[in-house]
């Protein structure tokens, strides 16, 4: 297979753009994301994500499936280029990215886009700082078919490459809405008739005994500071996970996974 594409080198603006996006150092108001490798491009196609630029290195394309995907990505992308193995090594973090790299535009969900059924499950991520944790939460949310993620006190970009990798691409498919003010998120959930539970080790209700009927939102907080004060000022209930050993808490992504699966199991039962 020989795709006739313009060859670009390390000095091309698209190469610099990818490096900046990978390092998460430049402004990214447009919500662009770099994806690399076969599995990532499969996710892009399955989710119908908009592809701005596709870069192909045929020398690093190891399988027939990757070669087929390259042809398909050329059809999907607004612009496509050919790059050398040296350029590929410069812009990718994976050891063998199958010769496939793209700049894609992340979905921009608005709160008005989210329509809830009578039974719904939402996770609120309040002040999370570690991109990998945020990505893991999104992957878990996909696993339990949660309805959406609410972000408050956001500390990391959804376009951070570690969010995408941690979510295994689910950051492109799990609806996420971002609130500039915590009180706006609280009011929105109240208007949507959600019961809100704060995940807090000091809470009085064992997570296995909470009532998860109807629409339920679970709030998890920052890895360092926990849940911010405004969430406590509205009288929301809390749930805790009993700790049977010496440690006094779980990693936020682990505890959220336990709570989400318990809530969804109760709702399904």
Task: Note the pLDDT tens digit of each residue in 67-106.
Answer: 999 999 999 999 999 999 999 999 998 777 899 999 999 9
pTM to 2 decimal places: 0.90
Mean pLDDT of 9-23: 93
Q: CATH number of the domain at 111-268, please?
A: 3.40.1280.10
Contact 15, 91 (CB under 8 A): yes
To 5 degrees, how large is the angle CA 97–CA 99–CA 105? 80
Q: What is the pLDDT of residues 165-205, one digit of tens each?
A: 999 999 999 999 999 999 999 999 999 999 999 998 777 79
Range list for CATH 3.30.1330.30 in the chain: 13-105
Range list for CATH 3.40.1280.10 in the chain: 111-268
Q: CATH number of the domain at 13-105, please?
A: 3.30.1330.30
What span, in angstroms and rounded, lies between the C-alpha atoms of 232 and 263?
21
Contact 194, 219 (CB under 8 A): no
Range in 155-169, 174-188, 243-257 the model is least confident about? 243-257
At 80, phi and psi to the nearest 5?
-135, 145
């Amino acid at each position: 297979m020989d795709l006739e594409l313009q060859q670009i080198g390390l000095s091309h603006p698209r190469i610099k753009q990818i490096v900046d996006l990978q390092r998460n150092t430049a402004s990214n108001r447009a919500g662009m994301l770099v994806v690399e490798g076969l599995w990532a491009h499969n996710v892009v196609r399955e989710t119908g994500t908009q592809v701005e630029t596709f870069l192909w290195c045929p020398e690093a394309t190891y399988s027939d499936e990757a070669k087929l995907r390259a042809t398909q990505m050329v059809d999907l992308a607004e612009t496509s280029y050919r790059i050398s193995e040296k350029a590929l090594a410069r812009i990718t973090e994976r050891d063998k990215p199958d010769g496939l790299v793209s700049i894609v535009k992340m979905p921009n969900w608005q709160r008005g886009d989210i329509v809830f059924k009578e039974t719904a499950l939402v996770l609120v991520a309040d002040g999370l700082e570690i991109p990998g944790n945020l990505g893991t939460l999104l992957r878990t949310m996909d696993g339990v078919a949660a309805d959406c993620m609410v972000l408050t006190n956001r500390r990391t970009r959804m376009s951070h490459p570690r969010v995408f990798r941690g979510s295994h691409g689910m950051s492109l498919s799990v609806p996420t809405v971002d609130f500039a003010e915590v009180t706006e998120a609280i009011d929105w959930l109240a208007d949507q008739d959600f019961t809100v539970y704060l995940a807090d080790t000091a809470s009085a209700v064992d997570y296995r005994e909470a009532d998860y009927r109807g629409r339920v939102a679970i709030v998890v907080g920052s890895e360092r500071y926990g849940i911010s004060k405004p969430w406590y000022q509205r009288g929301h209930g809390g749930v805790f996970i009993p700790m049977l050993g010496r440690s006094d808490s779980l990693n936020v992504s682990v505890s959220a996974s336990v709570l989400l699966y318990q809530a969804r199991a109760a709702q399904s039962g």
